[in-house]
Amino acid sequence: MPEGWFADTTGEALEVYIGVHRHMTPGERLARVFELGQFQHSLQVANVRSSYRQASEEEVFLRVAARRLGRELMIQVHDWNPELHP
């Protein structure tokens, strides 16, 4: 029985999923990784925009970056402390 990420997936469905990936070329798999990364980024942007409706594009960028980089690195790289901008 699948565990972890696939705990809610039937064994048959998991086999289909794995089979699809087995038939992909390395380039197709890499493209999928980038697509998923872009999708995740778009979800983060949408969440920030819905939570901070008055945020400028710069603030949206900084808030999304803060989620990835963490407070200390944000201060170091962008001189922006997310805790000071609730």
Q: Which residues contact 77 (CB under 8 A, 6 or more apart)?
A: 69
The C-alpha atoms of residue 2 and residue 8 are separated, in whole angstroms, by 8
Residue 78 in contact with residue 65, Cβ under 8 Å?
yes
Residue 49, classified by CB atoms within 10 Å of its CB into exposed (0-12), middle (13-18) or buried (19+), is: middle
In this prediction, residues 38-44 reach a mean pLDDT of 97
Domain count, the chain: 1
The residue to which tokens 């998991």 are assigned = 14
Q: Looking at the domain assignment, is residue 48 inside a domain? A: yes
- Domain hosting residue 36, numbered range: 10-84
- pTM summary value: 0.73
Q: Looking at the domain assignment, is residue 4 inside a domain? A: no
Q: Looking at the domain assignment, is residue 5 inside a domain? A: no
**pLDDT tens column, 45-78:** 999 999 999 999 999 999 999 999 988 999 999 9
- C-alpha closest to that of 82 among 47, 40, 48: 48
